[in-house]
Structure 1
Amino acid sequence: MDRRITPFNGRVAHLSLKGQVEAERFVEGDRAVVVWGTVDLFPSESRACAMDRQLLLGEALRVLEYREGWAFVRACKDGYCGWTSARHVTTEFVPGATHRVSARLTHGYLEPDFKVTWRFRELPMGAQLHVFDTTDRWARVAVPAASDAVDRDRGYYERFVPASHLRALTDPEPDPVAVSERLLGTPYLWGGNSSPGIDCSGLVQMGCTLCGIPCPGDSDMQFRELGETLPPGTPPQRGDLMFWKGHVAWVADPDTLLHANVHHMAVAYEPINDAIDRIRAQGDGEVTRHARVMP
């Protein structure tokens, strides 16, 4: 079993695994949401290990176990499992998400006034919010609040976000590459999932998610599950994916890739042939798969 998508930590397992693993307890898990902009997800209860992925504000979870300040969670979006700080999730009532941040980054304002200098916090692309109502310029939203927050009297804050920075969950975007291009220049971060920092598979997942395309979290999973494999020599087109061992990139146009990569330490464009030659020269082999995600 792949530990990344198997809701079992050696003690506690999800009910769906009865008969498949030996556990002290089998649980459904508590419904919860993420209360911070980006939240690191680890394979164990220790920050001494490499981060697997990140969760974003407002994302829905199941908490299977709390242990010494940590929470073992399963993300509803893609089934990814791991440990995060218990302070970064809440099981208190929060209105269900209706919209997602579609801009690279936005802010939650205390009042619907661009000149208000006190802002709530930065909200990254992909963060999910409940919108109560909108004007031409502003959306009044519910932002999930931490259980131990001292300046709130319910499970969320009411804040104001520029309406143009949000998109309804029921209104997917048409072009995953256009979504990913908004993150051009974003610093490379292993396991990163949004505008503060992102890796190759995070960039692909962000583009797919905002376009309503189911997408797993890591590049090896995306290699197995995303798109239709094309025969060698097929001319690339915008929206295709190119895979190498441990890496994935969008095709931005027939001659250019868009990818988050360590060579640039950022999301960057790179000529396809240059990337193929560079990756081969550094010892990481040839393209292992060319896939078409969009018809």
Structure 2
Amino acid sequence: MSDTPVIAAPIADLCRAPDGPRDRQLLMGEGVTVLRIQDGWAEVTAARDGYHGYLRESALTTGAPTHRISARATHLYPKPDFKTPERLSLSHGARLTVLSTGARFAETPQGHVPLAHLSPLESVEADPVSVAELYLGTPYLWGGNSTFGVDCSGLVQAGCLACAIPCPGDSGPQEGALGTPLPEDAPLQRGDLLFWKGHVAWVADAETLLHANAHHMAVAYEPITYAIARIDAQGDGPVTARKRLKGKP
């Protein structure tokens, strides 16, 4: 596999314009198509979903990742020894090129990572909600895409992509692209999605949501009936769609 443009930093903000507001984030090793570079800014589209934006040119390198971080987070060490000071921290979903493996660590160009925190890129998770549950307690961050800060659509995308389900980056396009509509009287089940204008949540079970939200300022569980009433009362309106991912019974 030939080297392609990828993210060099642990997390890179994908901005609406050079020096503009953050729309989303990209993680180390994620691929991009570079459209142009000017004045230290790169105009790119993200390989994972086609999201368009601008990031610092210094956040780019080239590489051919082979593995992803499948744990909530991990550390990179200068040596295969967890007692050495770590070089940096990486979120779930970051991608790395494994050069060699030892008994407990994998060597990468950036340093050594615990083998227990890695999965091959081609590996596929079975349950997107289980992936999203890795983010429990993560602080809410508008436009966030990591276990250091995430928003509602970032949490949904993390679960979907780990399960090889194509997923846009924002909740509006997610409502149109993901799953099939459920009748109002259909019982909800784990893995369903509830949408509001500007918000999305996983169904963890028939009575509970899992979502990144500004009410808790974190990824949290919340009773479905309470969340629906709360969101409506705060002025954000009713549920706009109930969806079931394809392949679910």
TM-score for both structures, normalised by structure 2 = 0.95
Q: How does 1:36-75 map to 2 (within 5 A)?
A: 36-47=9-20, 50-75=21-46
Pairing of 1:18-33 with structure 2 (within 5 A): 31-33=4-6
Q: Give the conservation status (yes or no) of the 8 Å contact 1:31–1:63.
A: no
Q: Report the alpha carbon displacement of residue 102 of structure 1 after superposing the two structures with TM.
A: 1.1
After TM superposition, give the deviation of residue 248 of structure 1 in Å. Answer: 0.2
Question: Is 1:247 the equivalent of 2:199?
Answer: yes
AA matched with 1:133:
S
Cα-to-partner distance string for 1:181-234 (whole Å, 9 max, x where unaligned): 011010000000011100000000001111111111000010000011111111
The one-letter amino acid of 1:75's match is: A
Structure 2 counterparts to residues 138-153 of structure 1, below 5 A: 138-142=105-109
What is the DSSP-based 3-state SS (H/G/I as helix, E as strand, rest coil) of the residue aligned with 2:99? Answer: strand
What residue number does 1:127 align with?
Answer: 94
Aligned to 1:25: none
SS in 1 for 2:188: coil
Q: 1:208 aligns with which of 137, 148, 160?
A: 160
Give 1:34's aligned amino acid.
Answer: I
Determine the C-alpha separation between the residues in 2 that align with 1:42 and 1:123: 21
CA displacement 1:254-282 (0-9 Å, x = unmatched) = 10000000000000000000000101111
- Give the alignment of 1:186-265 within 5 angstroms: 186-265=138-217
Cα shift at 1:243: 0.4
**What's the CA shift for 1:42?**
0.9
CA distance in 2, matches of 1:207, 1:53: 16
**Whole-angstrom distance in 2 between the partners of 1:274 and 1:166:** 37
- For the Cα contact (< 8 Å) 1:98–1:130, is it kept in 2? yes
Structure 1 segments of 4+ aligned residues over 2 angstroms from their partners? 132-136
What is the rounded CA distance, in whole Å, between the counterparts of 1:219 and 1:243 in structure 2?
8
2:125 pairs with one of 173, 198, 202: 173
Shift of 1:101: 0.6
Q: CA deviation at 1:43?
A: 1.1
Per-residue deviation, 1:31: 4.1
2:218 aligns with 266
Taking every aligned residue pair, what percent have the same amino acid on both sides?
A: 55
CA deviation after TM superposition for structure 1 residue 99, in Å: 1.0
Which letter does structure 1 place at the counterpart of 2:209?
Answer: L
Query: Within 2, Cα distance between the matches of 1:220 and 1:235?
Result: 23
Q: Which amino acid aligns with 1:45?
A: P
- Contact 1:107–1:161 (8 Å) recurs in 2: yes
**Count of residues paired in the alignment:** 245
SS of residue in 2 equivalent to 1:110: coil
Counterpart pick for 2:116 among 152, 160, 164: 164
CA distance in 1, matches of 2:29, 2:76: 13
Gaps of 5+ in 1: 1-29, 143-156
Give the distance between the partners of 1:265 and 1:100, measured in 2 at CA. Answer: 27
SS at match of 1:206: helix
1:106 paired residue among 74, 80, 96: 74
Residues in 2 aligned to 1:174 and 1:135: alpha-carbon distance in whole angstroms = 28
1:88 aligned onto 2:59: yes
C-alpha RMSD of matched pairs (Å): 1.3
Amino acid at match of 2:170: D
Q: Distance in 2 between matches of 1:259 and 1:81?
A: 25
The answer to whether the 8 Å contact 1:64/1:73 transfers is yes
Residue-by-residue CA offset, 1:59-94 (whole Å, 9 max, x unaligned) = 11111111111110111110001011111012x4x2
Computing the radius of gyration from Cα coordinates, the structure with the larger value is 1
Match of 1:34 in 2: 7
Task: Compute the displacement of 1:133 (Å).
Answer: 2.7
Residue 171 of structure 1 aligns with an amino acid whose one-letter code is S
SS in 1 for 2:5: strand
